[in-house]
Structure 1
Amino acid sequence: MRIFFLLILMWLAVPNEGAAQRITSSNFKMLQRIDDSLQTYGDRMLDDTFATERLRADSMFTRLLVRAMRVPYSFYFSFDSMQMAPVLYPEDSSFRIITWHIPMNDDNYRQRGVIQYNTPDGSIKFTPLFDVSDYSEQPQDSIRNNQNWIGAVYYKLLQHEVNQQKVYTLLGYDENNDRTTRKWIDILRFDEDGQPQFGGDFFFFNNDSIFPRGSKRYVLEYKKEGRARINYDEVDSLIVIDNLVSESNEPEKKYTLVPGGDYEALKWDKGGWQYIDKLFMNNRGDGNEPKPMLILKDDGSFDDEALDKQTEKNLKSAEEKEKAKAAPTTPKKTTPAKPTAPAKRSR
């Protein structure tokens, strides 16, 4: 962790370059080589058997990403090979946000992130994100900056405007620990100095909702094998959320929560996300879309048979995961990919 913070200090110390041409041929080839190596170290960061090797790979990954972002106009390089770290752009392409995670010991995860800005002259500008979610007892309760970010790996970015200020919504996930996973809906804005602010009063729920009053971001925490979803429906412009039920009728225990087959939703209206407590999904496509198992009956009571099947499925999945962990493995000795220059598109 100390290495990561030192690297970020080096990152921030980089002076802005003067006006330059867009990515030169030599810089483009260098970025391609870095991109390939980022994929190699990213895979090792996620999959290596030993925590020390994962941390070493994370350190190299960070160094390479820092090096890439020091290249003028590197914002226009797409990093196509970096599959483990999604690169998201808003509609206005004013910035991009890159996030990833590293498995720590005892099934604990730490998120990393950076926002890179689209500067007209190609000068260097970016903001590192420091994950403090492990040390936050109430991660929903406050607006935060890059120094106390509630970390997540983001997979969707939406853009709106409120009172002539751009408001971005981020959907992300956090593997959290060995018992639960979290899905997040967070808000991103930039203050007068251009610094990122996460969270805000943009969630409007019913008075009887379990959503804590005054929350600045939305979290869905559920059983590790539960596979709950938060997705954006492009057709109806809705954030669709799985409604959760407890397998043991103990909803306060997050590790018992699994999808119940019903859906909730959030719809952007009147300057914020308005809550819809019951969403009726229309059938689309060719009719072959997977359908969730309904754990609740029409009257709201539990369907014991469906609940037992879902529980059995979750237990089987957990057992298979434990067997895979216990199986002896021979760590593969890997080295960074040799520099190559495959054809890539640039943004």
Structure 2
Amino acid sequence: MKQLLFTLFILAVVPKFIFAQHSDENRSIRQLQSYEDSLVTLGKQVINNDTEMERINANQAFIKTLVNALKIPNSFLFLFDSVKSVSIINSPDNRFRIISWPIVFDDGSYRFYGTVQMNTGGKLLMFPLSDFSASIKSPEDTVNDNHKWFGAEYYRIIPVYSPKLYYVLLGWKGNTIKSTKKVIEILSFKDDKPVLGMPVFEGNGKTRKRVVFEYTRQASMLLRYVPEQDLIVFDHLTPPDPKLKEQRDTYGPDLTYDGYKLKNGRWVYIDNLDMRNVPDNHDANYIDPKKQAEIDRAMAKKE
């Protein structure tokens, strides 16, 4: 009799628990979808609004909305793939994801925003990234935390399983009205907190903690990872005239390629790579947000 009563109790209670759990999940999904719709609208405003102050205000609203969305339990599993104004990439081991994006100022300069969201399986754990670029005088020699970030919009994460696990980040960094930058960043974790930069790049008699490329804004630069060869490939940049050697905003690709080859957990510089197969130009054609704004305005006029 007791066993029968227990069975009846289980049959009565468990479905309600499952239904409640399912109902909570559906509620969270609806909330996240609503936040996503708001982020789509605000993200377009961050790029397309005509005045600098309007873009700044839209960006502040975007940040507030994003944080509220990420606070929802299990938000890490929500893709936010309709939000095209930001880069959202997961580490291949799914340990974390990075959300990053720029805002463009009227003088052609940029400021970057972002966060590292950890995969906790529930409660939010994230590390906001504060762009400290203007105060970092020697970025290739500096190790920072997330509060002193050399801002960029990332498009690739490469885990390196050396004695100490770290991640290589490939990023685009709009710079000024004259030049653009790209960066090879290193992200690691110490005491479960992010560390940016690590002395793992060897070449030309120097060890770098990150690698920064600067070139004319009129050009595109290839920077991509070739996983089959553990190789980071990039355009060799040169000035149009040797007299302009010190003016990095005149540099551009000269149709040759250099790279960094992974050896024993470190990246060794290789010049003049033999590229028999032309690499994928997807990374080189990364669209400047200001150019994207012009495209969006043109499309709006047609509609």
Q: Which TM-score bucket, shorter chain as reference? A: 0.7 to 0.9
> Percent of aligned positions with the same letter in both sequences?
34
Counting only pairs closer than 5 Å after superposition, residues 167-178 of structure 1 correspond to structure 2 as 167-178=166-177
Deviation at 1:21, TM superposition (A): 6.0
Which amino acid counterpart does residue 111 of structure 2 have in structure 1?
R
Which amino acid counterpart does residue 199 of structure 1 have in structure 2?
G
1:220 is matched with 213
Aligned-partner SS, 1:96: strand
Please say if 1:94 is aligned against 2:95.
yes
2:138 is matched with 138
Please say if 1:260 is aligned against 2:258.
no
Runs of 4 or more, structure 1, over 4 Å off, are 20-23
1:316 is matched with none
For residues 187-224 of structure 1, the C-alpha deviation after alignment (integer angstroms, 9 at most, x for no partner) is 000002x11000001111132xxxxx342100110011
2:202 is matched with 204
**For residues 71 and 87 of structure 1, what CA distance do their matches in structure 2 show?**
17
2:128 is matched with 128
2:81 is matched with 80
1:315 is matched with none
Higher strand share: 2
2:16 is matched with none
1:282 is matched with 276
Question: What are the ranges of 5 or more consecutive residues in structure 1 without an aligned counterpart?
Answer: 1-19, 208-212, 291-320, 333-347
Match of 1:240 among 233, 252, 264: 233
For residues 30-70 of structure 1, the C-alpha deviation after alignment (integer angstroms, 9 at most, x for no partner) is 11111122111111101211111101110111011011011
Aligned-partner SS, 2:147: helix
TM-score by length of 2: 0.82
Relative contact order higher in (CA < 8 Å, ≥ 6 apart): 1
For residues 225-282 of structure 1, the C-alpha deviation after alignment (integer angstroms, 9 at most, x for no partner) is 1211211123433211100111122221111101000000111111111111121112
**For residues 46 and 65 of structure 1, what CA distance do their matches in structure 2 show?**
16
Contact 2:202 2:208 in 1 (8 A): no
Aligned-partner SS, 1:201: coil
Aligned-partner SS, 2:139: coil
**For residues 54 and 228 of structure 2, what CA distance do their matches in structure 1 show?**
44
CA, structure 1 residues 110+21, in 2 after alignment: closer, same or farther (shift >3 Å)? Answer: farther
CA, structure 1 residues 260+21, in 2 after alignment: closer, same or farther (shift >3 Å)? Answer: farther
1:15 is matched with none
Question: What are the ranges of 5 or more consecutive residues in structure 2 without an aligned counterpart?
Answer: 1-19, 282-290
Please say if 1:187 is aligned against 2:186.
yes
Number of residue pairs matched by the alignment:
265
**For residues 76 and 154 of structure 2, what CA distance do their matches in structure 1 show?**
18
Which amino acid counterpart does residue 170 of structure 1 have in structure 2?
L
Contact 2:200 2:208 in 1 (8 A): no
**For residues 41 and 130 of structure 2, what CA distance do their matches in structure 1 show?**
23
Deviation at 1:178, TM superposition (A): 0.5
**For residues 21 and 239 of structure 2, what CA distance do their matches in structure 1 show?**
58
Counting only pairs closer than 5 Å after superposition, residues 1-347 of structure 1 correspond to structure 2 as 24-120=25-121, 122-163=122-163, 165-192=164-191, 194-207=192-205, 213-249=206-242, 250-283=244-277
TM-score by length of 1: 0.72
Which amino acid counterpart does residue 79 of structure 2 have in structure 1?
S
For residues 52-100 of structure 1, the C-alpha deviation after alignment (integer angstroms, 9 at most, x for no partner) is 1101110111011011011011011011111121111112101111100
**For residues 232 and 44 of structure 1, what CA distance do their matches in structure 2 show?**
32
Higher helix share: 2
Deviation at 1:284, TM superposition (A): 6.1
Contact 2:215 2:250 in 1 (8 A): yes
Aligned-partner SS, 1:106: coil
Which amino acid counterpart does residue 181 of structure 1 have in structure 2?
T
1:12 is matched with none
